[in-house]
Amino acid sequence: MNEYILIAACGGFAYNVVPLLELWKTPKESRPDFGELLYWLPYIAWPFLAGFLLYLYESPELKLSKLLAFHIGVSAPLVIRTMIQVLPVTPDKIKLEDLNQ
């Protein structure tokens, strides 16, 4: 496996670790339920997606450095989240064919 893909995956993991490290500021009753599997899903998904995004970036013309690979990994969740938000999910107007509805 490419070393740079692993570095990008570490960047995707670091994206999740920073908010986790700042939980000490959150009151105990407002902290997330760490026993729930759904809470830990981003810790698996974001590193995988960050490594995949770097894989898509790779080309013979692109000169990668370790810092660039880490930066792509950290920014991958932001890029993917923004792409999902821009995609239209629901139509602006729904036209009904039958007026009796």
Confidence label for 92 from pLDDT (cuts 50, 70 and 90): low
Rounded Cα distance, 101 and 17, in Å? 50
Rounded CA-CA distance 13/77 in Å is: 10
Element at 27 (helix H, strand E): none
In tens, the pLDDT along 60-72 reads: 888 889 999 999 9
Across the range 96-100, mean pLDDT stands at 60
Mean pLDDT of 41-52: 91
Instruction: Report residue 90's pLDDT band, with 50, 70 and 90 as the boundaries.
Output: low
Q: Would you place residue 11 in the very low, low, confident or very high pLDDT band (cuts 50, 70, 90)?
A: very high
Predicted confidence (pLDDT) at residue 93 exceeds the cutoff of 80: no
**Residue 43 carries which side chain, given as an amino acid letter?**
Y
Q: Which helix (H) or strand (E) holds 92?
A: none
- The Cα 23–Cα 33 span in angstroms is 12
